[in-house]
Amino acid sequence: MIDKLQKYSWISLGVALLIALISFPRSWYPMSIQAQLYSWFGPPAYTELNAVEMPIIDLDINQACPEDFSGWRARNNIEGIEIMEAKTCTADNPYAVAAFVRGTNNVSMNTLMQSGLTRDAVTKEEDLDDDGDPDVIHIRLEVVELNGYSPDSQEESLGYEIAPGINPGFWVFAPKLTGMASISFESNIARDMLRLPSPPIRIEQGDQVFLTLENSHTMPHTIHLHGIDHPYVNSDGEGNDGVPIISELPVMPGQSKTYEINPRVTGFGLYHCHVQPQIHIMMGLQGLFIVEPNKPNNYLQTLNVGAGQVRAPSQDILSSFDQEYDLHYLDLDSDLNNTIQEFNDPRLIAQKMNQSFNMTEAIPNYFTLNGLSFPYTFRDSLIVVSENEEIKLRIANGGINPVAFHIHGHRPLLTHLDGVQLSATSAYARDVFSIDTAQRIDLTLNTSNDGNHSNGSGVWLYHDHKNQAITNNGIGPGGHISALVYDEYMTSEGWPMLFGMNWGQFFSADYYERKINLWAEYAPNLASTPNKNIFLAFRLFVLGSALTIAIIIMISKIQSFIYAHIKKN
């Protein structure tokens, strides 16, 4: 019997080694052997990706966009002020637009109540040059904290989402409002007028402007007028440049201060806080400041809350353009901005911002356009056009990184740098415009379908071509991606017709929390998790078993060889 086994064990060993050889995974062989095997037997079959149909995306508009309850999108005429239609799904309150144009002191009680503004928010008086429009303008701004911490609430107080589930802390300049700061007693969500960015301000060349900062915040602040003609001291002989280490002391909590501006030249500048500017500017205390040419009967929309489309453009704009848009880019480092979610005590916030936070280590991880990040940028930062239009784009970069502004399918013309008009020979068209920190550019976008100005109708992306900036904390698409959309590609609900990937996942907080694989739906093979190969597992099991049997047989062979040797001796 033993002899028989001994006799067949050579065969068993051979079979076990053969099975081991066959089950040994191909990919474990050295490349030269693999290549030789492929030349003999051919490479393994190509596994095709699952083909998926690409239907028109059926996005639930209620998921994408809050409902237009009050019909704010429609074209309107309020108190004689023509307010253009907003074709995007969300729009500014037209009563507030009318009040910003006429002056809150010049509108009816009904308009004022519907605007939510105080009677002194933006007052307009005296036609100094007798050209049919008021020239003494008084603007009053408060400071509002968004997404701060309050011990009374489980969530951030005065909540403001820049993208699904993303609520960084901000400080903004905001117009003076009546009533509550949140939308209701039950909700802590900030009402529509309290948002990022600080609103663009528009005045006319030669206006006598009083800009009052009513510091309703817990920190000292100022207003500096960047690139706007203003005297160093005001008519009372007080500092008027807003720089607390040079010209004046900051405006302390509860105090107010009025800056005086009487611009002799037109311009496109900024206004921003100059207290600890490295911190306060990044917290959101910055806005566009535009000085328009003096024209007769020129009523300006003094504030453009949330920036975007100017719904009541000036006479100067209406004489040469079909539309005007304010685009304000901003980046932020959530480690800094979320300081106001770590503490409720202003002393601790000040301590971190003044001492422990190191601004040289700041790395922007969120990127906003007009206060929102993708996909919410599609709510109110779309540029909606028809063919053969001329559109004025005023673009400012308030972030610490440069913006490489790029628009698909178009070559806009650069006409102004930092508000200074280029000569006709130095104006140029291109498809990427670099905008460094605090710089402003004016572009004329022409939608003539001639292959040069425009490639024709469509949904054309516009975005920063710097690739960090098209993400939300590294997850893309995100950041300040938006689109230029032709009328025929807009739905009546104010959303572009989209072809391609399902957008439902972009409206999920899980996506930006890195919990969803974007490719799972249209490329499931690429999105599957490797190392779950049952066939490979079986093969390795067979390999292990065969090798175990072979080793056992070999040991027994060696044993019997040694026994035989001992017996002999």
Measure the CA dihedral 486/488/493/494, to 10°. Answer: 0
* CB 126, CB 135: distance < 8 Å: yes
Q: Contact 484/385 with Cβ under 8 angstroms?
A: yes
Nearer to Cu ion, 190 or 281 (CB): 281
Task: Return the number of the residue (173 or 378) whose C-beta is nearest Cu ion.
Answer: 173
What 3-state class would DSSP assign to 354? helix
Nearer CB in complex with Cu ion: 289/503? 289
Cβ neighbours of 501 (radius 10 Å): 16
Residue 427: burial class (beta carbons within 10 Å; 0-12, 13-18, 19+): middle
Nearer to Cu ion, 117 or 275 (CB): 275
Which positions touch Cu ion (CB under 5 A)? Answer: 221, 273, 275, 280, 285
Dihedral sign of CA atoms 174, 479, 328, 321 in order = negative
DSSP string computed for 309-334: E-SS--HHHHHH-SEEEEEEEEEE-H
In the complex with Cu ion, which residue's Cβ is closer, 256 or 517?
256
- Distance CA(549)–CA(544), nearest Å, equals 9
What is the closest distance, in whole angstroms, from the C-beta atom of residue 401 to Cu ion in the complex? 21
Q: Which is nearer to Cu ion, 101 or 196 (CB)?
A: 196
CB of 96 to Cu ion, least distance (A): 25
Residue nearer to Cu ion on the CB measure, 223 or 550: 223
**Run of H or E residues at 58:** none
Give least dist CB 308 to Cu ion, A.
24
Closer to Cu ion by Cβ: residue 280 or 410: 280
Structure tokens at 486: 């032709």
Min CB(228)–Cu ion separation in Å:
18
Interatomic CA distance for residues 157 and 332, integer angstroms: 19
Helix (DSSP H) and strand (DSSP E) numbers for the chain:
14, 24
The least CB distance from residue 259 to Cu ion, in Å, is 14
Least distance (Å) from Cu ion to the CB of residue 458? Answer: 42
Task: Please state the closest distance from residue 63 (CB atom) to Cu ion, in A.
Answer: 36
- Looking at the Cβ atoms of 72 and 271, the one nearer to Cu ion is 271
Nearer to Cu ion, 270 or 273 (CB): 273
Give least dist CB 242 to Cu ion, A: 10
DSSP string, 489-523: GB-TTS-B--BSS-SGGGG-HHHHTT-S-GGGTT-
Q: Which residue is nearest to Cu ion (CB)?
A: 273
Q: What do you get for the CA distance between the two ends of the chain, in Å? A: 25
Nearest approach in angstroms of CB 285 to Cu ion is 5
* Smallest gap from residue 363 Cβ to Cu ion (A): 22
| Cα dihedral 347, 352, 356, 358 sign | negative
Sign of the torsion angle spanned by Cα atoms 302, 308, 311, 313: positive
DSSP conformation letters of 137-206: EEEEEEEEEESB--TT-SS-BSB--SBTTB---EEEEEE-BSS-SBSSSS--BBPTTS-SSPPPEEEETT
Estimate to the nearest angstrom the gap between the alpha carbon of 109 and the chain centroid: 37
**To the nearest whole angstrom, how small is the minimum distance from the Cβ of residue 143 to Cu ion?**
7
Q: Scanning the structure block, which residue is given the tokens 């949904």?
A: 459
Contact predicate 456/462, CB 8 Å = no
Q: Which is nearer to Cu ion, 228 or 273 (CB)?
A: 273
